[in-house]
Amino acid sequence: MMCWAIPCGKNLTTDGNYKMTETTNQLPREEVELKKHWNVEWKFFRKRKKLKTGLLVMGVLLLVNLLWPTSIQNPVEGCGKESYNPKSFWHPWGDHEHRGIDIFARKGTPVHPAIGGVVIKAGHSGGLGGNCVVVFSSGMRFHYYAHLDEVKTHIGAIVTQKSTIGTVGNTGNAAGKPSHLHYSISSFIPQGDWRFYPKWMICFINPIKELEK
């Protein structure tokens, strides 16, 4: 049988180690070098091919996500226009603007996603929002549901408009205030009636305009 590797013969040395010796059926040095070169080239080509395929798949997913409908429903069960102040988006609030809307409802009222997507955050935020859920949806949008009494979903869950992700409450900085859902939509891509929030380099989209489309 032909030996393709050089050197492929082995001898024991006096100290018990193997000593490599060259054999007669080895390939000429140039051929070995060429083979090595083509192996490296081939690996590089395969890596580039994988990278190209990966980028193409990501591009297609991004396009589908952007073109998919973004219409939303009021996330609080049984609530309509009367449940929020139509001027509550971006009104001055403390040292910054109110970046969403507050939908007032009785504590424990089920909260359903305004639009389906993937849950990327679920639990206590440790901040102003208290118990909160973030759902990533079409249009590269992040939907934030805060002050929840209970969180009823988990990170990675695929949710639809029929799923229950939590219940209305007054956790976080809403403690002691009437129970309500703070709901906001944000995206890195400007769309709809948007305001830029430089602190996070993100755009907040007016949920009222989206609800009343």
- Pick the stretch among 2-10, 14-22, 98-106, 197-205 that binds Zn ion (CB under 5 A): 98-106
* Among 102, 139, 141, 204, contact with Zn ion (rule: CB under 5 A): 102
Q: Which of residues 37 and 85 has its CB atom nearest to Zn ion in the complex?
A: 85
Tokens read off for 65:
């996500």
Nearest distance from residue 60's CB to Zn ion, in Å? 36
Q: Which of residues 141 and 182 has its CB atom nearest to Zn ion in the complex?
A: 182
Q: Which of residues 16 and 94 has its CB atom nearest to Zn ion in the complex?
A: 94
Nearest distance from residue 57's CB to Zn ion, in Å? 38
Judged by DSSP in three states, 158 sits in strand
Q: Indicate left, alpha or beta for 108 from its phi (over 0: left) and psi (-120 to 50: alpha).
A: left
Distance CA 16, CA 23 (A): 21
Query: In this structure, are residues 200 and 184 in contact, taking their beta carbons and an 8 Å threshold?
Result: no
Applying the rule CB under 5 A, the residues between 137 and 196 that interact with Zn ion are 182
Distance CA 14, CA 130 (A): 74
Distance CA 131, CA 144 (A): 11
Nearest distance from residue 48's CB to Zn ion, in Å? 48
Q: Which of residues 122 and 132 has its CB atom nearest to Zn ion in the complex?
A: 132
Instruction: Please work out the total of residues on this chain that contact Zn ion, with binding judged by CB under 5 A.
Output: 2
Nearest distance from residue 126's CB to Zn ion, in Å? 17
Q: ∠67-111-106 over CA atoms, to 5°?
A: 145
Residues in the site for Zn ion, rule: CB under 5 A?
102, 182
